[in-house]
Amino acid sequence: MTDQKLTRTPDAVSTDTAVMRALKKIRTPAKQRNRELGLLLFAIAVYGGAVTLVQLGVNGTVEPGFLTLAAIPAVLALITHVALRLRARDADPFVLPIATVLTGLGIAMIYRIDLADGASGWDATGHRQIAWAAIAMVLALVVLIFVSNYRVLFRYTYLFGLAGILLLLLPFVPGLGTEQNADVWVSLGFVSFQPGELAKICLAIFFAGYLVRTRESLTSTGTRFLFMTWPRARELGPVLVIWLVSLGIIVLQRDLGTGLLIFGMFVAMLYVATGKTSWVLIGLVLVASGAFLASQVLPYVNGRFANWLNAFDPDVVNREGGSYQLVQGIFGLAHGGLFGTGLGQGRPSITPLAQSDYIIPSLGEELGLVGLFAILALYMVFASRGIRIGLAGQDDFGKLLATGFSFTIALQVFIMVGGVTRVIPLTGLTTPFLAAGGSSLIANWIIVAFLLRISDAVRSRPRVVIG
């Protein structure tokens, strides 16, 4: 018998290649989801350990009842992981574990302050925070399942813009607004919430859709000066409009934080859309000029600047609306030192609003500088993964949306941490995932759902382009 030379036909080669591609597609998402499961289990362990250490540090015993209640967000996180395996197998594996561990640490610290104040049952902020976390995670799961293609949001760009403006105006509706330091709360009788938290999501979708539609005119050739291309005067219109809207929020609602957040988000998305550094410089100039004008005209803004510049002046500390809260938070951070007093061993409750506005100093006192840096590193990874999700795809709308959401979280953390550490004047924002409050928690978990959905689309359908 003669030897027969074995050859591979083109059909066999193409079939083999298709099989290998299919196998790779099956294995890669499984690897991502397995990595997510490992990180998620570690996040849940950190959460459970923090709650247990709080109970041991304050009471010396473990209370099984609260641990059972605290397990609800952990179970929902695992359910979300299962949903990702079924509906978004290519989603980023880091976003969900980071959001889970930050939410868990916030619940643990809020519960610790409840124990110091003697609060228990549903009158305690920690119990309500668990309920809000459960609601937020369920809503995120609903968004993840039913918004299977986030690109449909592009069709409703201007509708989301209108919804964002209406949400910001909602506190001025007679019968809905509440008597607070800032006109940002709405009361429905059985519950109060901040519509501005949901407004930032609507406005992020609007900004992304608007910039996709108008990018060509915004990136047109301008004047070359100082190694940068500056836009023409007629192209400054959108930035000036958003700047005026932000000033309106500061003036009418007495909400410095939301005004800065919305304008900063728009400028960041504008830079990503155009690639022009000049837009960033223009935005910084407008922010500085707006802050200066507000500090000269508005008494409450002027008071915040006075508290910032003269925080340790006895007259400023002791006056009504003075810097007492800021100083107490700084002393708490100093008391924590490098490694902290230990969970349940500090005195964070002596700072007013320690579970909401000042939860960062509360955590810094009991976890120390090392623990606080670990939390900030988690925020940094979360924001970087979100920006990576945006920049990795070729979908212009998804790129801007993911970048806008990620920058919003990062900017909010900077504004809050900078405020309580006296780097910048204090504003009225909340620390994402950590601070007590349902509105912020719901909005941030919805952002998590969108980032997961966008990351899945980037990996599974990278060539789809809009705009």
DSSP assignment of 34-90 equals HHHHHHHHHHHHHHHHHHHHHHHHHTSS--HHHHHHHHHHHHHHHHHHHHHHHH-TT
- What is the model's pLDDT at position 92? 92
- What is the model's pLDDT at position 218? 66
Q: What is the pLDDT of residues 47-97, one digit of tens each?
A: 999 999 999 998 888 888 889 999 999 999 999 999 999 988 889 999 999
- What is the model's pLDDT at position 304? 86
pLDDT, greater one: 121 or 185: 121
Rg (CA), the chain: 24
Helix (H) or strand (E) holding 122: none
How would residue 5 be classed by pLDDT, with cut points 50, 70 and 90? very low
- Cα dihedral 265, 270, 273, 274 sign: negative
- Give φ, ψ of 192 to 5 degrees: -120, 145
pLDDT over 90 for what percent of the chain?
44
Mean pLDDT within 3-13: 50
User: Could you tell me which of 239, 211, 261 has the C-alpha nearest to residue 399?
Assistant: 211
Say yes or no to pLDDT of 462 above 90: no
How big is the CA angle at 125 (ends 337 and 170), to the nearest 5 degrees? 110
- What is the model's pLDDT at position 463? 46
Q: What is the mean pLDDT of the chain?
A: 84
- If you count them, how many residues does the chain have? 467
The residue behind tokens 């809905």 is 176
Q: What contacts 331, CB < 8 A, 6 or more positions away?
A: none
Q: What is the pTM of this model?
A: 0.88
Of the chain, the end-to-end C-alpha distance in Å amounts to 65
Q: What is the DSSP string of 371-416?
A: HHHHHHHHHHHHHHHHHHHHHH-S-HHHHHHHHHHHHHHHHHHHHH
Identity at 29, one-letter amino acid code: P
Q: Specify the 3-state DSSP secondary structure of 187.
A: strand
Q: Specify the 3-state DSSP secondary structure of 352.
A: coil
Q: Is 186 left (phi over 0), alpha (psi -120 to 50) or beta?
A: beta
User: Could you tell me which of 146, 241, 184 has the C-alpha nearest to residue 453?
Assistant: 146
Q: What is the pLDDT of residues 191-231, one digit of tens each?
A: 777 888 899 999 999 999 998 888 776 666 566 655 566 66
Q: What is the pLDDT of residues 419-436, one digit of tens each?
A: 999 998 888 788 999 998
- What is the model's pLDDT at position 1? 45
Q: 10-58 and 64-87 are packed helices; what angle lies between their axes, rounded to 10 degrees?
A: 170
